[in-house]
Amino acid sequence: MSEILNTLMQDARVWQGHQHTWTTQSAEPTGYQVLDNQLGGIGWPRGALSECLLDEPGIGELHLLLPLMQRLSHSGKTVFWLNPPHTPYAPALAREGVNLDQVVLINTEDEGDFLWTLENCLRSPVTGLVMAWPGKLAARKIRRLQLAAEAGSNVCVLFRERRYAEQNSPAALRLELAPGGQQDLRINVLKRRGSWPGQRCSLAMDHRADLAFQEAPRVVQGPWSGRAG
C-alpha cells in the first residue's frame, strides 16, 4: 500500500497541502512563455484532461491552442475538433501554419456519440490533440474521459461554459478564460496538478477573429451505428 501511495504522490495525483509537488508527467509547451511560467514550466498535460472555461466562444481561445496545433500537425499527429460551436475557417488555419492534412472536424448527434467518439480519439495512436466542446457533462462522465485520456499520450482540451467552474472535475488543468482590453485574453488558473491554483496572466491575441469558424478542412458527421454504450 505504501508503494502505491508513494507512486501517486510522486506523480502529483495526491495533492499535499503543505508542499508543492513537481510532477514528472509529460506535457506540451503552450507556446506562450508567460503562460508556461504560470504553469510551472509544464504546459498542456499529456494523457490527461484540460479544461478551458469561458462565457462565449470567439474570445481568443483558439489562438491559445494555435502553437500546439501548428507543432503537432507538422509532426504527423492528427488534430481533432469535436463538436465546435461553429465551423473552423480553414484558410486562416493554413495561413497560421497549421497542416490541414492533419485536421479532422467531427460532428456528433447526441451525448452517447460524443463520448464514444472522444474516447476513441483519446485512445488512438494517431492523435496529437483533441479539442472538444461537450456542453453539459456529469462528473462521472468526465472521470470516464479522464480514464480514456490516461490510456493515450495526447493532449485533450475541453471547452466548457464558465459556470461549470464550480463543478468538481478530475481534469489535471483548469483555466478560466475572459476577454481583456485591446484583444487580450485573461487567464486564471483554477487548478493544476501538483501545485496551488490562483496564477493569472494576460496574453495578446492579435487578429483572433481570423480563426472564427466558417469553412472546414475535413468533416466527419455522426450519428454512428453500433457504437459502444
Q: Does residue 112 form part of some domain?
A: yes
Q: Does any domain span residue 5?
A: no
Q: What is the pLDDT of residue 113?
A: 92
- Within a domain: residue 14? no
Q: How many domains does the chain have?
A: 1
> Mean pLDDT of residues grouped by 10 in the chain (229 residues)?
45 44 71 91 91 93 94 96 90 91 92 94 94 89 89 93 89 93 88 78 68 54 53
Task: Tell me the whole-structure pTM to 2 decimals.
Answer: 0.82
Say which residues have a Cβ less than 8 Å from residue 103's Cβ, sequence separation at least 6. 69, 73, 78, 79, 81, 88, 90, 93, 217, 218
Q: Which domain holds residue 158?
A: 26-221
Task: Answer whether residue 228 is part of any domain.
Answer: no
| Pick from 71, 63, 61: nearest CA to 29 | 71
Q: Looking at the domain assignment, is residue 119 inside a domain?
A: yes
pLDDT of 219? 57
Amino acid at 146: Q
- What is the model's pLDDT at position 195? 67
In a domain, residue 226? The reply is: no
Encode 125-153: b = buried (16+ Cβ within 10 Å), e = exposed.
Answer: eebbbbbbbbeebeeeebebbbebbeebe
Q: Which residues are registered as beta bridge partners of 221?
A: 107
Count CB neighbours of 108 within 10 A. 21
Identify whether 70 is part of a domain. Answer: yes
CATH number at residue 162: 3.40.50.300
